[in-house]
Structure 1
Amino acid sequence: MGRIKTTLIKRSAQDFISKFPDLFEKDFVKNKEKLNGVSEIQSKKLRNKIAGYLTRLSKAKK
């Protein structure tokens, strides 16, 4: 079993997917860079968690 993501991470990821549906890919590093350009997330830890969840959602979608 994996770690459970908080509501903040899930909600933020869903917002980014709804605003930018074709921006995110299956690669974590690219998603992290794109997320850094699209948003103003100050915390590196929070940005990485959201990018990881976006990567997971992208892999499940395709």
Structure 2
Amino acid sequence: MGKVRTESVKNLAKDLMNKHHDKFTTDFDTNKRLVEELAIGSTKTIRNKVAGYISRLKRIEMKEEGAETPSA
């Protein structure tokens, strides 16, 4: 069974994705540094959870983009 993310983590991640969509990547460490800069006042645990969720969202987004383009 997977772990459940709280609504506050999801909301913060979605807000950051909407405002700074082009800055985030699929790399957790890069996203962790960005969240540290952008989310003022978050704890280390929250920062890591948000960065992990953003990384997952970006991976899903990349997978969907690959599925949309038909292969030759």
Q: TM-score, normalised by structure 1?
A: 0.92
Identity %: 35
Matched with 1:22 is 22
The 8 Å contact of residues 31 and 55 in structure 1, kept in 2 or not, is answered as yes
- Give yes or no for contact 1:9–1:50 (8 Å, CA) kept in 2: yes
RMSD of equivalent CA atoms: 0.9
Give 2:3's aligned residue.
Answer: 3
**Which letter maps to 1:19?**
K
Structure with higher Rg: it is 2
The higher relative CO (CA closer than 8 Å, separation ≥ 6) is in 1
Letter in 2 for 1:2: G
Instruction: List structure 1 segments (4+ residues) > 2 angstroms apart after TM superposition.
Output: none
The runs of 5 or more residues in structure 2 that have no matched partner are 63-72
